[in-house]
Chains A and B, each alone.
Chain A
Amino acid sequence: MPQKHIERSTTYKVPTMLNVRNLSYSYGPHHVLQDVSFALYPGEIAMLVGRNGAGKSTLLRCLAGWSKPGAGTITVNEIELHQAQSAKDPKVIFVPDVPDFYDELTVWEHLELIGNLYHMADWEDEAIRLLDVFELEDIETAFPFSLSRGMRQKLAIIMALMVSPQVIFLDEPFGPLDINAIETVWQELESLQQQGAYILMSSHMLPEGKHADRHLLLQHQQTQFVDAAHFNNMSSLLNYEEPDYEEPDTETPLADPSSDDPSLVDEVASDE
C-alpha cells in the first residue's frame, strides 16, 4: 500500500515540493481545470486518476509547459518551475500518450541525438541497457513510425529515462504496454524515484497489483488526494459504478502530504 513516501518523508525534514496553486484552464467557455492546487514531494510516485475527459492530459500539459494555463502557478521551492531549469539542465519531461518521432531517424539515432545534446558520457551504455530491459534491442535500426504503438510508447519512455529527469509526467503510460513492459516501467520509475525525482503519471483506471505512493483524483475540474481508506471507493468510482464516495478526511497527514508542515509527516512516519 502507498506508504513509501512516508518513509522517504523522514529523509526530507523540510520538504522540497513541487507546488501547483490555483491552476485553471479552459477550452473556450468550457472549463477543464478550476483552481487546481496540490503538491508533489521529491522521490514519490503520484498517480493522477480520473475518467475519460476529466482533464488529466490537459493538467499534465500545463504542468509540463506545453499549454499555458489561464491562471495559477507551478513552483519548486517557490521558484517558477520552468525558470528553475537552466538551459543546460532542462529536466522536466512529459511523455504524452501518443508520442511522435523524427521520421528520418532510427530508434538508435534518437537516443544518440539525446545522448549528444545532453553531453552524456555513458549514453551508449545507458541506451543499450534501456533497450535491453524494454526488449527493443532488435529494432534499434528501425524507424519509429514503422513500430507498433506499444513499441513507440516504450521508446518514448526510454528517451525520457535517458535524461534522468528531475520531474517526469507520464500521460497514460501503460495503455498500449504489455505486462512485462508495465513491470519494467515501474522498476525504472522506482529507480528514478530513489534519485529524488518528482513523478506524476495519469491513468483512467487503477493498475492492479502495483500502487503509486499517492493517488490524485481529478473530477469536477478539481483534484483531491485520496488516502488508502478511500482507495476502494475511488476504484469503484473509476469503474463507473454508482459512487458511494465520501469526501476524504483531508485533515489526516496521509491524505494531505502537501501540507507545508513537515512535523505532520514526521508524526505519521514515527507511527509507522
Chain B
Amino acid sequence: MNDLITLLRLEAKRLKSKAAYWLRVLGMDPKDTHFYRIYVGLFWLYWVFFMWAYATESVYQMSRMLPLDVAPSIGQGLPILIFMAQVAYLFIVFRKQPARLSGADIAYLAISPVHRGALMWVNLLRNTWLPIFGLAVVSCLLGMFQAFPTSPDYAGFAGLYAAIMMVFIAYTSSAAAWAISLYRLQAKATINRQALWAIFPAMILLALWLPQVGLWPGHVWASAAMSTPALPLWLVLVALSVIATIMLVLSARRVDMPIIIEANQMYARIARLGPYAGYYARDLIARIQKQHKLMKKKRIRFSLITERNDFVTLLSQSMLMSMRVSVLSPLQLIGQGLLMGSLAGTLLSVSSLSQVQTWVVILLALMMSRRPDIIPTFRSAMQQPWLRQFLPVPIPQVLAAHSLYSFALIYVGCVIALGLSIPAHIPMVSLFVLAIGLILTICQAFEVIPETNVFKRTLPYETAVLVCGIPIVLVGFISQDAFLTLATTLAVLGILGYLLDASYPFFQK
C-alpha cells in the first residue's frame, strides 16, 4: 500500500508538471497574475462550452436527418464493434507487452524493490486515462445521437450514462488485457505461455455461441443509451472493474521485469524526445523504431552488393537495405503503388479534367504524397556527408540507382491499378505517371541535397512540387490537351534533371 501511495504521489507530480506544460501551451503561465490566469481560464472554458454546444447541435441535426428506426439500429451494431475493439486491444498488448516505461522509470522504479503490481497498475492508469477520456466523449455523443430521435428529453442523460458506461467498459477491458498479457511475462508462469494464445479463439467462439455473454459489454452500453441503468448493473460494473484490477495486480506481482525493461528501451528513447516529437522528430522516431526492429532480426547475409558497375552496386545496396527492414518490401511497395493508382484512378473517373478543382486536388494530393520509402538509401547517404564521401559517383547516378528499386515497384502497382480503373487511357496515363513519378522523386531528392548551384540550400518537398506543378496544371487546364501537358511535364522534368546534375559537386565530375 505504501508503494502504491508513493507511486500515485509521483504520478500526481508528473501529471502536475505535464499539466503546467500544456497550460503554458494554452497561454496560461504560473508566473502570470491571477487576473490574467482567470481571463485565460474563462476564455478556454468559453471555447470548450461552445465547441461542445456545437458538437451536440451537430449530433442533433444529424440524428434528425435519419429515419426514426435507423438510429437505434446503429446501436445494435455497436456491441460487435466494442467486442472487436476488445479483441484487437488484447491482441496488441498480448503481442508486445503493454507497459510503457520512460528512461526515468527504468532507472529508478523498474529496478527498485517497489511492488510490481502497484507499478503496473499506476502505469495502466497513466497510459489509458487519456484514451478512455476520448472514448467517453465519443461515447457520449454517440449515446445522444441514438437517443435524440426517440426520446430527445432523455438525450442528455443518455450521453452521460453512455460516457460513464464506456469508462467502465474501457477500464475493465484494459485491466483484464494487461493482466493476461503480464501473466505471460511472469518469471514462473504456471500455465504454458503459448497456450494463452487460445484465449482469442475462445473469445470468438464465446461471442458466436453465447452472444449474451460475449457481447455483454456492448449490450450494456446500448441499453444505457436508451434507458437509465439499474443500480445492480452499476454494482456489477464496479465489481468487474475491481476484479480486473486485482487480476492485474496479482498477475504483475511476479512479472519478469528485465523483459519489460528490454522491451521499453525503444519507448524510453522516443519518450526522451519530448511531447512534440511525433511532429518535429518523425524521422528520428522512425529511425529508432527501425534500429529496434533490425536488432531483433536475424542478420541474413543477402550478398546482394555486387561489383559489376557503380550503378548495379548502388542499386543492389538499396535493394539490400530495403529487404533488410522487411523481406516483404517488394510486395509492400507494389501495394503502395496499387493504393496510389486506385486513388488516382477514382479521382480521374469521378471528376472532370475541365474543372480547375480537379487539378488543384491533384496538385494538393501530390504535395501530400511524399513517400519516405522511395529514396531511403539516397536520403541516408546524402544527409550524412561522412557516408556521401564514399560514393564516388555523380549525384544523378546515385539517385537513379538508389531509387530504381522502390520506384519501379511502386510504378508497376500504380499502372496496374490505373489500368483496372481507366483502361481506355492507360498508354497516356502510364507515361504521365512515369514523368510525374520522376519529378516527385527528384523533388524529394532536393530536400536532402545540401545545395544546388541555383537554390544554394535544400528545397522543401512541398515547395518543389508546387513550383513544378503550377506550370503543368496551367498548361493542362488551359489547353485541355494531353500531349501538350505531357510535353510540359517532360520539360519540367528536364529542368529538374539539369538542376540535379548541377547540384553541389561534392566530387567533381
Residues on A close to B: CB < 8 A?
A: 64-66, 82-83, 85-90, 92-96, 99-106, 109, 112-119, 141-143, 145-146, 156, 159, 163
Q: A109-B320, A116-B306, A141-B301 are in contact. Are A64 and B393 (CB under 8 A)?
A: no
Instruction: Select A87's contact among B321, B324, B392, beta carbons within 8 Å.
Output: B392
Q: From residue B348, how far is it (CB to closest CB) to chain A in Å?
A: 36
Could you tell me if A159 and B394 are in contact, using CB atoms closer than 8 angstroms?
no
A89 to B391, CA, bound (A): 11
Could you tell me if A87 and B325 are in contact, using CB atoms closer than 8 angstroms?
no
* B295 close to A (CB within 8 Å): yes
Q: A141-B301, A146-B295 are in contact. Are A117 and B391 (CB under 8 A)?
A: yes
Could you tell me if B508 and A83 are in contact, using CB atoms closer than 8 angstroms?
yes
Q: From residue A198, how far is it (CB to closest CB) to chain B in Å?
A: 16
Q: How many contacting A-B pairs (Cβ < 8 A)?
A: 93
Q: Which residue of A lies closest to B388 (CB)?
A: A66
* B390 close to A (CB within 8 Å): yes
* B483 close to A (CB within 8 Å): no
Q: A106-B299, A141-B299 are in contact. Are A90 and B389 (CB under 8 A)?
A: yes
Which A residues lie within 8 Å of B320 (CB)?
104-105, 109
Instruction: Select B389's contact among A64, A116, A145, A146, beta carbons within 8 Å.
Output: A64
Which A residues lie within 8 Å of B305 (CB)?
109, 112-113, 116
A92 to B393, CA, bound (A): 14
Which A residues lie within 8 Å of B287 (CB)?
103
Instruction: Select B509's contact among A87, A89, A92, A106, beta carbons within 8 Å.
Output: A87
Which A residues lie within 8 Å of B385 (CB)?
64, 66, 94
Total residues of chain B contacting the partner, CB 8 A: 37
* B317 close to A (CB within 8 Å): yes
Interface centre among A86, A100, A103, A142 (most CB of B within 10 A): A103
Could you tell me if B389 and A119 are in contact, using CB atoms closer than 8 angstroms?
no
Could you tell me if A143 and B317 are in contact, using CB atoms closer than 8 angstroms?
no
A134 to B57, CA, bound (A): 72
Which B residues lie within 8 Å of A86 (CB)?
508
Could you tell me if B508 and A99 are in contact, using CB atoms closer than 8 angstroms?
no
Q: List residues of B (306-343) whose CB comes within 8 Å of A's CBs.
A: 306-307, 310, 313-314, 317, 320-322, 324-325
Could you tell me if B321 and A102 are in contact, using CB atoms closer than 8 angstroms?
yes
Residues on B close to A: CB < 8 A?
A: 287, 290-291, 294-295, 299, 301, 305-307, 310, 313-314, 317, 320-322, 324-325, 377, 380-381, 384-387, 389-394, 505-509
A interface SS class: loop
Instruction: Select B380's contact among A94, A103, A115, A156, beta carbons within 8 Å.
Output: A103
Which A residues lie within 8 Å of B325 (CB)?
104
Which B residues lie within 8 Å of A109 (CB)?
305, 320
Instruction: Select A117's contact among B324, B392, B506, beta carbons within 8 Å.
Output: B392
Q: A94-B389, A99-B386, A103-B287 are in contact. Are A119 and B307 (CB under 8 A)?
A: yes
Q: Which residue of B lies closest to A101 (CB)?
A: B387
List 8 A-B residue pairs with CB atoms under 8 Å apart, sorted by A's residue number: A66-B385, A86-B508, A87-B392, A89-B392, A94-B385, A103-B287, A103-B380, A116-B306
Could you tell me if A104 and B321 are in contact, using CB atoms closer than 8 angstroms?
yes
9 closest Cβ pairs, A-B complex: A104-B321, A116-B307, A104-B324, A90-B507, A116-B313, A66-B385, A100-B384, A90-B392, A99-B386
Which A residues lie within 8 Å of B310 (CB)?
117
Instruction: Select A92's contact among B381, B389, B505, beta carbons within 8 Å.
Output: B389
Q: From residue B311, how far is it (CB to closest CB) to chain A in Å?
A: 11
Could you tell me if B301 and A93 are in contact, using CB atoms closer than 8 angstroms?
no
Could you tell me if A143 and B295 are in contact, using CB atoms closer than 8 angstroms?
yes
Known: A94-B385, A119-B307, A142-B299. 10 other contacts (CB 8 A): A66-B385, A83-B508, A95-B386, A104-B294, A105-B321, A116-B306, A117-B314, A117-B390, A117-B393, A143-B299
A92 to B320, CA, bound (A): 27
Which B residues lie within 8 Å of A119 (CB)?
307
Could you tell me if A82 and B321 are in contact, using CB atoms closer than 8 angstroms?
no
Which B residues lie within 8 Å of A102 (CB)?
321, 377, 380-381, 387
Q: Which residue of B lies closest to A162 (CB)?
A: B390
Q: A85-B507, A87-B394, A104-B294 are in contact. Are A117 and B387 (CB under 8 A)?
A: no
Q: A112-B305, A115-B307 are in contact. Are A100 and B392 (CB under 8 A)?
A: no
Q: A109-B320, A112-B305, A117-B391 are in contact. Are A103 and B290 (CB under 8 A)?
A: yes
Q: Which residue of A lies closest to B301 (CB)?
A: A141
Q: Which residue of A lies closest to B383 (CB)?
A: A100
A143 to B291, CA, bound (A): 9
Q: From residue B266, how far is it (CB to closest CB) to chain A in Å?
A: 12
A233 to B305, CA, bound (A): 52
Could you tell me if B390 and A114 are in contact, using CB atoms closer than 8 angstroms?
yes
Q: From residue A152, how far is it (CB to closest CB) to chain B in Å?
A: 11
Which A residues lie within 8 Å of B507 (CB)?
82, 85, 87, 90
Q: Which residue of B lies closest to A89 (CB)?
A: B392
Q: A66-B385, A90-B389 are in contact. Are A85 and B291 (CB under 8 A)?
A: no
Q: From residue B421, how far is it (CB to closest CB) to chain A in Å?
A: 35
Q: A104-B321, A115-B307, A116-B306 are in contact. Are A143 and B508 (CB under 8 A)?
A: no
A105 to B322, CA, bound (A): 10
Which A residues lie within 8 Å of B506 (CB)?
65, 82
Q: From residue A95, how far is it (CB to closest CB) to chain B in Å?
A: 8
A65 to B508, CA, bound (A): 11
Instruction: Select A113's contact among B290, B324, B389, B390, beta carbons within 8 Å.
Output: B390
Q: Which residue of A lies closest to B322 (CB)?
A: A104
A106 to B310, CA, bound (A): 20
Q: From residue B110, how far is it (CB to closest CB) to chain A in Å?
A: 22
A101 to B324, CA, bound (A): 15
Which A residues lie within 8 Å of B387 (CB)?
100-102
A88 to B509, CA, bound (A): 9
Q: From residue B289, how far is it (CB to closest CB) to chain A in Å?
A: 11
Q: Which residue of B lies closest to A105 (CB)?
A: B321
Q: Which residue of A lies closest to B389 (CB)?
A: A93
Q: From residue A255, how far is it (CB to closest CB) to chain B in Å?
A: 33
Could you tell me if B317 and A113 are in contact, using CB atoms closer than 8 angstroms?
yes
Q: From residue A57, how far is it (CB to closest CB) to chain B in Å?
A: 12
Q: From residue B273, how far is it (CB to closest CB) to chain A in Å?
A: 17
Q: From residue A193, how far is it (CB to closest CB) to chain B in Å?
A: 21
Q: From residue A222, how far is it (CB to closest CB) to chain B in Å?
A: 25
Which A residues lie within 8 Å of B393 (CB)?
87, 117
Q: Which residue of B lies closest to A115 (CB)?
A: B307
Which A residues lie within 8 Å of B321 (CB)?
102, 104-105
Q: Which residue of B lies closest to A145 (CB)?
A: B291
A63 to B322, CA, bound (A): 34
Q: From residue A156, how far is it (CB to closest CB) to chain B in Å?
A: 7
Which B residues lie within 8 Å of A101 (CB)?
387
Q: From residue B235, how far is it (CB to closest CB) to chain A in Å?
A: 54
Q: From residue B302, how far is it (CB to closest CB) to chain A in Å?
A: 9
Which B residues lie within 8 Å of A143 (CB)?
291, 294-295, 299
